[in-house]
Chain A
Amino acid sequence: MTITMKMTVGKGIRLGVFIILGIAIFAYAIYIIGKQRNLFGNTFTVSGIFRDVSGLKVGSNVRYSGINVGSVSNVHLLNDTLVKVQVTLEDKVHQFIREDSRMEIGTEGVMGNKVVNITPGTSTKPVVEEGATLGTIEAVKMDEILDELKKSSVNTTVVTQNLAEITSKINQGEGIFGKLFTDTSFTNNLDQISRNTANLTRNVSTITSKINHEEGVVGKLLSDTTLAKEFDQAGNNLLESTRNLKGFTQKINRGEGMFGKMFTDTAFTRNLDETARNLTYTTKQARAISENLARITRHIESGKGVMNKLLVDSTFADSLDGTLKNINKTARELDQAAETVRKNWFIRTFSTKKQPPEQQQIDTTKNRPK
């Protein structure tokens, strides 16, 4: 110990730098954490009332369009069934939170932290005021899903059957397209159908995956895992057919080649008239159905109705099983049909030369072989 332990000015400075740096690190941490929790800067609060907050805690993140914009500042029971969740948000998102924006409780990451999602509202509605109470979207309940599933699965069968019919008609109906594709509304319709169907399929697949994950809730029904699998597959098949259908209609829309031939063949066009009318009718029908379906799925999402009956009615499970098998089959057929059409179309497309863009629509119609 031969160092003189005298305190010199140099040592004093070094000690001072050491202490200041250390405190700066701490202050930085405080600042960053505080910023994340919106303790600094201007904030505003809104709240929402839920039946079930699924373990949401004070400090949980709040997201708007997937961006962290604030945190939960208070969770407390209003009465025996309702929970009020108050969130503090950064001022800069205030302008985006409309009166019809809604709060929803979701889950983030694999660790399953609960978050509050705020959905954007309509831009025409006024911006919410400080302390306002937003509408909420309750998490979907299992029994409600099943109730709606019964209706939607029946509907799906109908839709897919119709679709199969349509596509097979398209497949057979050579020359029909002449008139058909001059009618832009039809293609729009078709597009709409496929969009709706895609939505439907997504919804169905969501439901099935939910069912798959919530094993054991509905006793017998769900112990039959093959059922769920079938349902799942049906969804997948349906999705694929829809995709095919969509690709097909897009092609039509783009209307490559085949204009001259079609035009010269007047007899064909006349002949086509009736078929076209039929098809239009079918399309309208299909559209109505898919709209129905969309409504139903919305219904499911908004989570109305209870399914006591389902739970006691064991025959339902059997019938559901049958239905699903049907769906599966139809979807496969639909898929094949779409595939055939696409292939045919391709061959024909490539055999003719391209036309100027403004004539494409007509072009397509003319192209049909006699």
Chain B
Amino acid sequence: MKNDQGANILSDITGLVRFTVRVVRSMMDPPFENREMMKQSYFIGYKTLPLIAVTAFILGLVLTLQSRPVLVDFGAESLLPGMISVSIVREIGPVVTALICAGKIGSGIGAELGSMKVTEQIDAMEVSGTNPMKYLVSTRVLATTLMLPILVFFADAIAFVGSYLAVNLHGEIAPQLFLTNAFAPLHFYDLIPATIKTFIFGFAIGVIGSYKGYTAGFGTEAVGRAANSAVVVASVAIFIIDMLVVELQHSMEMLNF
């Protein structure tokens, strides 16, 4: 079936772009499926929090422990909280959270919509007076777009807790001093673009997961393929978006300052 990989990727991209346009359009015009949106938000946001919390905590802890020796060599141990906070807020918090969500939520959406597609549940919805683009896709895309930033806020905060404990392993530091040190190097231009980025990540995860599920082929095998390629494509997309946003941010900083 796949004899031309290049053409396949290309048609995949054009399909994705067209799908995105459809999603955005169906998100724009009423009626809105608010109830379904809330339900999806609950599953995508609230239900993912424990996973994000554990990961972020460990990440903050390990990152601090690993960075410490270098700073100690330079005699700049007091810069540790600041260094960690900048890397977490600017990059690691958003990207790692997005990757975990690509794994959990992206594959979930891919598999769920894929199986609904394969078992004709999507068709059944459509003939029951429901626009599946609105009911299934828009709600999920909107939920991932809105929930991912919130998950990232939690991830950042919990990573700070992990980092604080790691700093504390080598000597007492008051939480207040840690926070002061951690926030000292943070500017709005660290926080704001990173936050905008998370909205885009969330949107990408939702759209790619939905696209892969929605365009799943036939048979149960297609469900697995949809889930799998949802994760792969979403992860790659996250890195590409990250790169583009950072580039954009840099060029904007150059213009402004």
Residue positions of A touching B, CB distance < 8 A: 5-7, 11-12, 14-15, 18-19, 21-23, 25-26, 29-30, 32-34, 36-37, 57-59, 109-111
Instruction: Let me know if A23 and B179 touch, CB within 8 A.
Output: no
Q: Mark B119-138, 1 if CB is under 8 A from A, else 0.
A: 00000000000000000000
A residues near B38, Cβ cutoff 8 Å: 7, 12, 15
Instruction: Let me know if B43 and A5 touch, CB within 8 A.
Output: yes
Number of interface residues of B (CB under 8 A): 31
Q: Which of B79, B183, B191, B256 contacts A111 (CB 8 A)?
A: B79
The 17 sampled A-B contact pairs (Cβ below 8 Å) are A5-B39, A15-B38, A15-B45, A15-B46, A22-B153, A23-B150, A25-B156, A29-B89, A33-B186, A33-B187, A33-B188, A34-B188, A37-B188, A57-B257, A58-B256, A59-B187, A59-B257
Closest to A32 in B: B183
Instruction: Let me know if B188 and A14 touch, CB within 8 A.
Output: no
Instruction: Let me know if B191 and A30 touch, CB within 8 A.
Output: yes
Instruction: Let me know if A14 and B46 touch, CB within 8 A.
Output: yes
Closest to B195 in A: A26
Instruction: Let me know if A110 and B76 touch, CB within 8 A.
Output: yes
Q: Does B75 contact A (CB under 8 A)?
A: yes
Q: Does B19 contact A (CB under 8 A)?
A: no
Closest to A59 in B: B187
User: Known interface pairs A15-B42, A25-B154. Does A109 touch B79 (Cβ–Cβ under 8 Å)?
Assistant: yes
Closest to B146 in A: A19
A residues near B188, Cβ cutoff 8 Å: 30, 33-34, 37
Q: Mark B140-183, 1 if CB is under 8 A from A, else 0.
A: 00000000011101101100000000000000000000010001
* Distance A172 CA – B195 CA, assembled complex (angstroms): 78
Instruction: Let me know if B41 and A15 touch, CB within 8 A.
Output: yes
* Distance A111 CA – B86 CA, assembled complex (angstroms): 15
* Distance A5 CA – B188 CA, assembled complex (angstroms): 39
A residues near B46, Cβ cutoff 8 Å: 11, 14-15, 18
Nearest CB of chain A from residue B253's CB, rounded to whole Å: 10
The 7 lowest CB-CB distance pairs between A and B, nearest first, are A22-B150, A25-B153, A7-B39, A22-B153, A15-B42, A18-B46, A25-B157
> 8 more A-B contacts (CB under 8 A) besides A7-B35, A23-B150, A25-B157?
A12-B42, A15-B41, A18-B46, A22-B151, A29-B186, A32-B179, A33-B187, A111-B79
Q: Mark B45-57, 1 if CB is under 8 A from A, else 0.
A: 1100100000000
Q: Which of B43, B187, B256 contacts A37 (CB 8 A)?
A: B187
* Distance A29 CA – B182 CA, assembled complex (angstroms): 11
B residues near A21, Cβ cutoff 8 Å: 154
Instruction: Let me know if A33 and B183 touch, CB within 8 A.
Output: yes
Q: Does B184 contact A (CB under 8 A)?
A: yes
Nearest CB of chain B from residue A76's CB, rounded to whole Å: 11
Closest to A18 in B: B46
* Distance A5 CA – B35 CA, assembled complex (angstroms): 11
Nearest CB of chain B from residue A68's CB, rounded to whole Å: 9
Nearest CB of chain A from residue B146's CB, rounded to whole Å: 8
A residues near B156, Cβ cutoff 8 Å: 25, 29
A residues near B153, Cβ cutoff 8 Å: 22-23, 25-26, 29
User: Known interface pairs A33-B183, A111-B79. Does A58 touch B257 (Cβ–Cβ under 8 Å)?
Assistant: yes
Closest to B38 in A: A7
Closest to B182 in A: A32
Instruction: Let me know if A29 and B191 touch, CB within 8 A.
Output: yes
Q: Mark B187-228, 1 if CB is under 8 A from A, else 0.
A: 110010001000000000000000000000000000000000
* Distance A18 CA – B188 CA, assembled complex (angstroms): 24
Closest to A36 in B: B183
Closest to A71 in B: B187
Nearest CB of chain A from residue B72's CB, rounded to whole Å: 13
Closest to B48 in A: A18
B residues near A111, Cβ cutoff 8 Å: 76, 79
B residues near A26, Cβ cutoff 8 Å: 149, 153, 195
* Distance A5 CA – B143 CA, assembled complex (angstroms): 15
Nearest CB of chain B from residue A247's CB, rounded to whole Å: 32
Nearest CB of chain A from residue B37's CB, rounded to whole Å: 10
* Distance A109 CA – B79 CA, assembled complex (angstroms): 9
Nearest CB of chain A from residue B223's CB, rounded to whole Å: 12
Instruction: Let me know if A11 and B42 touch, CB within 8 A.
Output: yes
Closest to A12 in B: B38
Instruction: Let me know if B42 and A7 touch, CB within 8 A.
Output: yes
* Distance A36 CA – B195 CA, assembled complex (angstroms): 19
Most chain B CB atoms below 10 A, which of A7, A30, A58: A7
A residues near B157, Cβ cutoff 8 Å: 25
Within 8 A of A (CB), among B44-80: 45-46, 49, 74-76, 79
A residues near B151, Cβ cutoff 8 Å: 22
B residues near A11, Cβ cutoff 8 Å: 39, 42, 46
A residues near B186, Cβ cutoff 8 Å: 29, 32-33, 36
* Distance A57 CA – B185 CA, assembled complex (angstroms): 14
* Distance A47 CA – B191 CA, assembled complex (angstroms): 28
Nearest CB of chain B from residue A32's CB, rounded to whole Å: 5
* Distance A25 CA – B149 CA, assembled complex (angstroms): 11
* Distance A59 CA – B185 CA, assembled complex (angstroms): 10
Closest to A35 in B: B183
A residues near B184, Cβ cutoff 8 Å: 36
Instruction: Let me know if A19 and B150 touch, CB within 8 A.
Output: yes
A residues near B76, Cβ cutoff 8 Å: 109-111
